[in-house]
Amino acid sequence: MLFTLTYVSFETRPISPSGLEVLIRQATRDNARDGITGVLLYTDGYFVQRLEGSREAAMALFGRIRLDDRHEVLMITDVKPIAARTFDGWGMALLDARAFDGGIPEQQEVRSLLASLPETVRVHPEAVDEVAAVLRAVLVA
Ligand SMILES: Cc1cc2nc3c(=O)[nH]c(=O)nc-3n(C[C@H](O)[C@H](O)[C@H](O)COP(=O)(O)O)c2cc1C
């Protein structure tokens, strides 16, 4: 049975783009081992992460993540069985909003969209799947 868990957290100290790259490299390696896929959004100090995998693997991973002192988990917004993965093929996709810093309007639009998502999933947990679809669309654009 496939399972998904999404949470919102906030950094305990500023994480640099390279610090985030290091985190994602380790996460991608370990997630491949554990059959986990998903996405990690970083925007203005907030993380929004969706994990997908077996119930056991997703819960075990979240057990490690919530103890990580790089952030504090604010809220689990969504835990449920799913029929299929949204992030099939991504060990852990990374969306660092800082990458969208070009002056062109399209980049600014994506950046402000990403900036709104931590609040959206906290106020509207039922919108998590739509948020995931938005993140996936940004990733493949
Ligand atoms: C925001 C955030 C997201 C993370 N995502 C993952 C992940 O998807 N997979 C993973 O293995 N570790 C992830 N980690 C790292 C884990 O918290 C932990 O450091 C790592 O799994 C190693 O744990 P261990 O030292 O107990 O083996 C994440 C950490 C943070 C702060």
Distance 24 CA to ligand 1 centre (A): 8
> Best of 6, 23, 94 to mutate for ligand 1, by most ligand atoms within 8 A of CB?
23
Alpha carbons 21 and 54: distance in angstroms, whole number: 25
Closest-CA residue to 6 (of 32, 37, 31): 37
- pLDDT tens track, the chain, 141 positions: 999 999 999 999 999 999 999 999 999 999 999 999 999 999 999 999 999 999 999 999 999 999 999 999 999 999 999 999 999 999 999 999 999 987 788 889 999 999 999 999 999 999 999 999 999 999 998
Return phi, psi of residue 69, to 5°.
-80, 5
**DSSP letter, residue 74:** E
* Alpha-carbon separation of residue 78 from 16, 57, 97, 114, 141 (angstroms): 27, 16, 22, 18, 26
> Which residues 6+ apart lie within 8 Å of 6 measured at CB?
48, 49, 50, 51, 76, 77, 78, 79, 121, 128, 132
The reported pLDDT for the residue numbered 109 is 92
Give nearest CA residue, ligand 1 atom 8: 27
pTM over 0.75: yes
The reported pLDDT for the residue numbered 2 is 97
> Best of 52, 68, 87 to mutate for ligand 1, by most ligand atoms within 8 A of CB?
68
The reported pLDDT for the residue numbered 61 is 98
CA torsion sign for 141, 11, 16, 62 is negative
Atom of ligand 1 nearest to the CA of 47: 1
Atom of ligand 1 nearest to the CA of 68: 17
Enumerate domains of the chain plus CATH numbers: 2-140 (3.30.70.100)
